[in-house]
Amino acid sequence: MSERWKQRFENFEKAYSVLADALYADFSDLSDLEKMGCIQAFEITFELSWKVMKDYLIYSGVKLIEITPRKVIQEAMAAGLIQDGDMWLNMLKNRNLTSHTYDESHILSGVEMIETDYLPHISALYEYLKGQNDG
């Protein structure tokens, strides 16, 4: 379905909005539960980000031989959909780690990494796809 990426983009847009709103909060005021919620919002947003990349690449005519997050990220980088493939692969690695992290210091450092390192790249993908969706 050629418009599948637009449907997936709507879900990505909602998750991205929740993540961005959560990360603009003052962390000193957040409870542990809210900090864990930021991590969960990142995990969901990341999952939807690589899937919307996959759908957009297919829509654009890219033939994906293997559909895994790593391969989709590599193809998205090659197609110019994202700029820093290494950062996206680092996000993938840390998404897998945060899924199993319950230590408070790791949660706080994870939230800080998401805000400073990852959100700008997710935002760039969002802005690019929003432009394609609106255009």
- The domains of the chain are located at 4-134
Nearest CA among 75, 56, 73 for reference residue 64: 75
Q: Which residue has the higher pLDDT, 37 or 127?
A: 127
Candidates 1.20.120.330, 1.10.8.60, 3.40.50.410, 3.40.50.1820; correct CATH number of 4-134? 1.20.120.330
Span of 21-25, 49-53, 58-62 with lowest mean pLDDT? 21-25
pLDDT digits (tens, 9 = 90+) for 65-117: 999 999 999 999 999 999 999 999 999 988 876 666 666 666 777 788 898 99
pLDDT value of residue 76: 98
pLDDT value of residue 28: 73
pLDDT value of residue 102: 62
- The DSSP code for 28 is G
How many Å apart are CA 74 and CA 82, to the nearest integer? Answer: 9
How many Å apart are CA 56 and CA 76, to the nearest integer? Answer: 9
Q: How confident is the model at residue 2 (pLDDT cuts 50, 70, 90)?
A: low
Whether the CA torsion 123, 124, 130, 131 is positive or negative: it is: positive
Cβ partners under 8 Å of residue 45, min gap 6 = 12, 15, 16, 18, 19, 122
Q: Considering the entire predicted model, what is its pTM?
A: 0.90
pLDDT value of residue 105: 65
How many Å apart are CA 73 and CA 50, to the nearest integer? Answer: 7
Nearest CA among 47, 65, 54 for reference residue 11: 47
